[in-house]
């Protein structure tokens, strides 16, 4: 399996996640991001055309490096041609104390259970060693759900790779507010929190073991995925989605197909609207046989990948 779980956590990560990760360990020094010479063309931005209207759609990475800015020009091209911005969820609501209370309530195992209760002894000891390597004690997260512990470890790991900046969606949400563009959302923050905290329920040992195994190749894998995002390629992401679909079908349903089914009628209405919508979701949502691009093509829409020459 090719680093499926960690890539799921990284690419579907909530922008608000550093709020609780930072409370466990002070931010560590960031390494310089690896530089590479662009050899590709294209973008993770598409124009969707139907008989009754058009829509722009873009793939986001929710946490970026300083070296990822400025964003590819196709993002601004689509934004400037649009009347409305649509994001997955309004993560600025994480400043709401009631929503933070909900997040905290979902982080913990039920009925006073601890990680020792849901993990085999050898798996627990391995997780404890990994937590120690990242600068905190497993006792600090003893009552956390396994998915939340792995979320924290993933965040701390990608911080070391320079991923500390807000991502594409947050950037354009701020830009929309500054320019007066209306902003809409496909789902609630609560639904995103539920999808994340539900990962690994019922197969906690396997989830932890595979996740820790995946961490060894995260840096190289992220470099490939970031290059694909920047230049609109998808080979590595297609492989990640295939592995997720085959090895973790319940996670695939929760994070991909169930959400796309819920989004589909909304996207159809947007394309038919008198307004031009710019829809930004996580980049993995665009690709694969159940991705939004394939879904819209199957519905008869024309999908064109944007370049700055469009």
Q: In this predicted structure, which of 70-84, 122-136, 150-164, 271-285 has the lowest mean pLDDT?
A: 150-164
- The residue ranking higher by pLDDT, 22 or 189, is 189
| Chain segment 241-271, per-residue pLDDT in tens | 998 899 889 888 988 999 999 999 999 999 9
**Number of domains forming the structure of the chain:** 1
Provide the pLDDT for residue 280.
Answer: 97
Decide if 142 contacts 51 (C-beta within 8 A): no
* 127 has pLDDT over 80: yes
Q: Are 287 and 64 in contact (CB under 8 A)?
A: no
Q: Is residue 97 part of a domain?
A: yes
Q: What number is the average pLDDT over the span 115-136?
A: 97
Does a structural domain hold residue 215? yes
Nearest to 131 by CA among 186, 61, 10, 212: 212
- 63's tokens: 């946490």
Return d(Cα 174, Cα 24) in angstroms, integer. Answer: 28
Residue 34, in any domain of the structure: no
Among residues 174, 207, 215, 168, the alpha carbon closest in space to that of 10 is found at 215
**Structural domain contains residue 134:** yes
Residue 35 resides in a domain: no
pLDDT in tens, 25-76: 332 322 233 333 344 457 999 999 999 899 999 999 888 888 899 999 999 9
Is residue 137 domain-resident?
yes
Read off the pLDDT band of 15 (50, 70, 90).
very low
The range of the structural domain enclosing residue 57 comes to 4-15+42-305
- Report pTM: 0.84
Is residue 230 domain-resident?
A: yes
Token match 């906690």: residue?
204
pLDDT at 10: 45
Spatial distance between the Cα atoms of 57 and 296, rounded to a whole number of angstroms: 11
Within a domain: 31: no
pLDDT of res. 213? 86
State pLDDT tens for residues 75-105. 999 999 999 999 999 978 877 888 888 888 8
- Measured distance CA(58)–CA(167) in Å, rounded: 12
| Structure tokens given for 300 | 């008869």
* Greatest mean pLDDT among 3-7, 41-45, 49-53, 167-171: 49-53
Average pLDDT over residues 217-244: 88
């Amino acid at each position: 399996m090719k680093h499926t779980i960690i890539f799921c956590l990284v690419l579907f990560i909530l922008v608000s996640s550093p709020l609780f990760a930072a409370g466990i360990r002070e931010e560590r020094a960031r390494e310089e991001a690896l530089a590479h010479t662009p050899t590709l063309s294209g973008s993770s931005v598409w124009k969707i055309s139907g008989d009754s209207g058009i829509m722009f759609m873009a793939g986001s990475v929710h946490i970026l490096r300083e070296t990822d800015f400025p964003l590819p020009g196709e993002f601004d091209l689509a934004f400037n041609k649009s009347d409305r911005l649509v994001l997955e969820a309004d993560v600025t609501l994480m400043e709401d104390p009631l929503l933070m209370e909900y997040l905290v309530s979902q982080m913990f195992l039920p009925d006073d259970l601890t990680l020792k209760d849901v993990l085999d002894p050898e798996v627990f000891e391995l997780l404890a060693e990994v937590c120690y390597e990242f600068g905190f004690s497993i006792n600090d997260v003893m009552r956390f759900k396994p998915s939340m512990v792995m979320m924290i470890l993933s965040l701390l790991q990608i911080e070391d790779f320079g991923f500390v900046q807000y991502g594409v969606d947050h950037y354009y949400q701020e830009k929309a507010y500054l320019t007066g563009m209306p902003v809409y959302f496909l789902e609630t923050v609560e639904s995103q929190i539920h999808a994340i905290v539900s990962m690994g329920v019922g197969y906690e040992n396997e989830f932890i073991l595979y996740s820790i195994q995946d961490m060894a190749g995260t840096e190289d894998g992220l470099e490939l995925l970031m290059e694909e995002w920047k230049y609109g390629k998808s080979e590595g992401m297609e492989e990640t989605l295939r592995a997720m679909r085959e090895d973790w079908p319940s996670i695939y349903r929760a994070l991909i197909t169930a959400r796309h089914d819920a989004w589909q009628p909304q996207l159809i209405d947007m394309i038919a609207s008198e307004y031009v919508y710019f829809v930004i979701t996580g980049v993995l949502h665009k690709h694969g046989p159940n991705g939004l691009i394939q879904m819209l093509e199957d519905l008869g829409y024309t999908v064109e990948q944007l370049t700055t020459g469009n």
